[in-house]
Amino acid sequence: MTSLRRAPARDYVNETFDSTRWQAFAPRNGDILVNTPPKAGTTWTQNILALLLTGDPDVAPGLSMQSPWIDIVFRPLDEVMARIEAQRHRRHVKSHTPFDGLPIWSGMRYLAVYRHPLDIHFSFRRHNANMAADIPEKRLCPEDGEAAFRLFVAGDHEYAASLLSIAQHYISARALDGDPSILRLHYADMTRDLPGAMARIAAHIGVTHSPDVMERLVAAATFDNMKANANRFSPSAGQGFWKSDAGFFDSATSNKWEGRLTEAQIATYQARLADLVPDPDMRAWLEWGDRP
C-alpha cells in the first residue's frame, strides 16, 4: 500500500506544465518517478528503466505513452490517467516539477538526475531547433545565441531550462538527501560509467538480472544504440513532433560550451549560479557529479 508522506509545498503552473495534475494520480506500490530538469537525462533514464523492468534489450516502442509526463498540459489529463491506470506492469512516469511541488508517497521510488547547467542550455537549444511543433517554451529559447544565453542566465521563468529553474529543482532534491526512496544521479557519472549507473538504478528499484542480461541491457542503453533505434527510444517517435526522431538524441557530450561562450559570459553564469546555489560543494556536484 502507498500513503502520502509529504504534500506539495507549492504549485508550479504555467503554459507548459501544471503540477496540480498530480492530484489525479493514484499511486501503486512500486511505482517509479523520473524527475529531472529538462535535458538532464530524462529520456535516457526512462529508457534505462524500461530496459531494467522488462529485461528486454528490444523493449517495445512508445515511451511517451507508456511512461508519460504527468505535468504537461498538452495531453488531456483524463486520457493520461486512464492510460496509466490500465497498465498492469510495474509503472514509471516522468516529471520536471521541483520536488517541493510534488507529493511524496511511501511505496514509490524516485530518480532525480542532474547535468551541468551549461550543457543543459546548449542541449535545450538543440532540442528546440529539432522541434516541429510550435509550443510556448520556444519563445524562451530564441535562435540568437547571445539572446538565448542572457535569457537562460537572467530569466525568471520556472520552467523550460533557465538557470533559475535548474537551481530550484536541484535544491529541492538536495533537501531530501537521506531519504532512501530517492536516488540522485548525475549525467556525467552515467556517461563515464553506464554499467555502474544501471547497477545503482537496478538496486534502487529492486530489480536483478544475470550478468549476461545486464550486459545486453547496458549495450541497449548506450547513446549510439538509442539514436540508431530512435523509433523505439525517442519520445513521441513517429508522431511528427520532431523534425528528426533520431535528432532527439543530439550528441550525449559534456562541456558543450567550450569555444562557444566568452570568458565574460562564463563569469556571468558563475556569478548567477553562486547566488542561486551558495554552497560551493553543492555547486560542484551540480556541475560535475562525483568525478574525482
pLDDT for position 243: 55
> Distance between CA atoms of 24 and 175, rounded to whole angstroms?
25
pLDDT for position 134: 64
> Distance between CA atoms of 92 and 59, rounded to whole angstroms?
14
Q: What is the pLDDT of residues 112-153, one digit of tens each?
A: 999 999 999 988 777 555 555 666 665 666 666 788 899 899
pLDDT for position 161: 77
Mean predicted lDDT score pLDDT of the chain: 87
Conformation bin of residue 187: beta by default, left when phi > 0, alpha when psi is -120 to 50: alpha
pLDDT for position 128: 57
> Distance between CA atoms of 103 and 9, rounded to whole angstroms?
9
Tell the burial category of 144 from Cβ atoms under 10 Å away from its Cβ (0-12, 13-18, 19+).
exposed
Residue 51 CA from chain centroid, whole number: 17
Q: Read off the C-alpha cell for 100.
A: 517541493
Global pTM reads 0.88
Confidence of residue 99 (pLDDT cuts 50, 70, 90): very high
**Grid cell 560509467 — which residue?**
193
pLDDT for position 49: 94
Written as one string, the DSSP assignment of 247-283 is: GGS----S-TTTTTS-HHHHHHHHHHHHHHS--HHHH
pLDDT for position 59: 81
Confidence of residue 28 (pLDDT cuts 50, 70, 90): very high
Task: Give the alpha-carbon dihedral of 244, 246, 252, 256, to 10 degrees.
Answer: -20
Q: What is the pLDDT of residues 140-196, one digit of tens each?
A: 666 667 888 998 999 887 766 799 999 999 999 999 999 999 999 999 999 999 999
CA angle, residues 129, 131, 133, in degrees to nearest 5: 135
Mean pLDDT of 49-57: 93
pLDDT for position 259: 74
Q: What is the pLDDT of residues 209-262, one digit of tens each?
A: 999 999 999 999 998 888 777 776 666 555 545 455 555 556 566 676 677 799
CA angle, residues 282, 121, 51, in degrees to nearest 5: 80
Q: Identify which of 62-66, 131-135, 269-273 has the greatest average pLDDT.
A: 269-273
Q: Read off the C-alpha cell for 137.
A: 517554451
pLDDT at position 36 over 60: yes
Query: Which segments of 13-161 does DSSP mark as H helices, in order?
Result: 42-54, 63-66, 77-86, 117-129, 145-154
Q: Read off the C-alpha cell for 291.
A: 568525478
Contact between residue 227 and residue 249 where contact means Cβ atoms under 8 Å apart: yes
Which uninterrupted H or E stretch holds 280? helix 280-288
Mean pLDDT of 190-207: 97
**Grid cell 545486464 — which residue?**
214
Confidence of residue 1 (pLDDT cuts 50, 70, 90): low
Please, which residues have CB within 8 angstroms of residue 275's CB and are 6 or more apart in sequence? Answer: none
pLDDT for position 144: 67
> Distance between CA atoms of 99 and 268, rounded to whole angstroms?
27
Phi, psi (deg, nearest 5) at residue 241: -75, -30
pLDDT for position 254: 67
